[in-house]
């Protein structure tokens, strides 16, 4: 056997750098209801920020509010 035959696959193949998993977070509601529930929008915004902050350690999070 030659030295080439004894090399591992990692030595022979280029390692591929993987990008972080990307996830999308969409938060929103129907505008007609915001006046009926004045505390709902701030609560929704806080919840979206919380989920984004907890998930951003593991994933590339894209958040859109609608």
Examine the pLDDT at 46 and tell me if it is beyond 90. yes
43 within domain boundaries: yes
- Average pLDDT of span 4-32: 82
Q: Residue 61: in which H helix or E strand, if any?
A: strand 60-65
- Average pLDDT of span 1-21: 74
Examine the pLDDT at 4 and tell me if it is beyond 60. no
The domain of 47 spans 19-65
CA distance 59 to 10: 26
Q: What angle do CA 45, 42, 63 make, to 5 degrees?
A: 10
Residue pLDDT, tens place only, 47-56: 999 999 999 8
- Average pLDDT of span 4-30: 81
Asked if 25 and 8 count as a contact pair (C-beta separation under 8 A), the reply is no
Examine the pLDDT at 30 and tell me if it is beyond 90. no
50 within domain boundaries: yes
| Number of domains within the chain | 1
Q: Is the pTM of this model over 0.75?
A: no
12 within domain boundaries: no
CA distance 48 to 42: 10
């Amino acid at each position: 056997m030659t030295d080439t035959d004894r090399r591992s696959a990692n030595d022979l193949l280029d390692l591929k750098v993987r990008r972080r998993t990307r996830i999308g977070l969409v938060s929103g509601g129907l505008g007609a209801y915001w006046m009926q529930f004045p505390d709902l929008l701030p609560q929704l915004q806080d919840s979206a920020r919380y989920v984004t902050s907890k998930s951003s350690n593991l994933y590339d999070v894209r958040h859109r509010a609608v």
